[in-house]
Amino acid sequence: MTDGLVVVRPGPLSTVQDLGRRGVAHLGVPRAGALDGPALRAANRLVGNEPGTAAVEATLGGIALRALRPLVVAVTGAPSPVRVDGRPAAWGAPVAVPSGAVLDVGAATAGVRSYLAVAGGLAVPPVLGSRSADLLSGLGPAPLAAGDRLPVGPRPPYGPVPELVPLPAPPAQLVLRLRPGPRADWFAPDAAARLARASYRVAPASNRIALRTEGPPLARARQDELPSEGMVLGAVQVPPDGLPVVFLADHPTTGGYPVIGVVPPADLAAAAQARPGTPVRFLVLPSRPIAG
């Protein structure tokens, strides 16, 4: 393992992410990990890595890094211009970066988060079984800054996959399935129906912790305090302002506001790519388990 990249321009927010920490919620540690898991897996497949290998998650403004040795990289997720020493390079395909060259992933032209995988993976030290940066607890590597050096592991034994890996486009409208509960009874009897009919938008305050919404507030049937209880990925919590908040990868493991329902994990990759202002529609499902 040796240094493989040095950060030239970190962009608005770039972090190291893999598929997150599993089985540690009882310690008060969120899962963290890539918000758009399919995009991370696709980038790793393109360079020959295992699906959960650590990569860079860049937000909106992209990132630029200098290669300290010859590397093979791939960029997926939010569509973005890719350049190597100023020359256009492929997005969504393996790209060879010579030693000393600058790889520049530009601002996203759609969506929010781009994923930059390197053959061999980013070999930052793991914490509790993951190399992911967790912005809520502060575990894992800090958000990337100019001058940071990123070690890259040895090349995988199999080569890059040259064909394109299909991924959905960033959503023009975000449709989130919602399984009712566990605190649906804390809301007005018609709250679920109103939620399904209402028009919401992604709020600018959204981040890796939660997707926040703007729109009509939900009326509560109970105004008393709810003791803090466990929270899961995709929980839709409703704070006192009545606006639904969808918990994402860096969410707290406990919370004291009622949860009107849970969005299945399969729907959350689209939430990771929904820009502020994107319309949001909740599709309320029958209160029974669904495949997700």
Domains (range + CATH), the chain: 2-152 (no CATH), 174-284 (2.40.100.10)
Please tell me the pTM assigned to this model.
0.93
pLDDT at 292: 47
For the chain, percent of residues with pLDDT exceeding 90 = 74
Of the pLDDT bands very low, low, confident and very high (cuts 50, 70, 90), residue 234 is very high
- Which range has highest mean pLDDT (132-141, 152-161, 167-176, 274-283)? 274-283
Q: Collect all residues with Cβ–Cβ distance below 8 Å to 102 and sequence separation of at least 6.
A: 8, 64, 65, 66, 67, 84, 85, 86
Q: What DSSP line would sit under 79-99, residue for residue?
A: ---EEETTEEE-SSS-EEE-T
pLDDT at 2: 67
Mean pLDDT of 260-277: 95
Cis peptide bond prior to 216, omega within 30° of 0: no
Residue length of the chain: 292
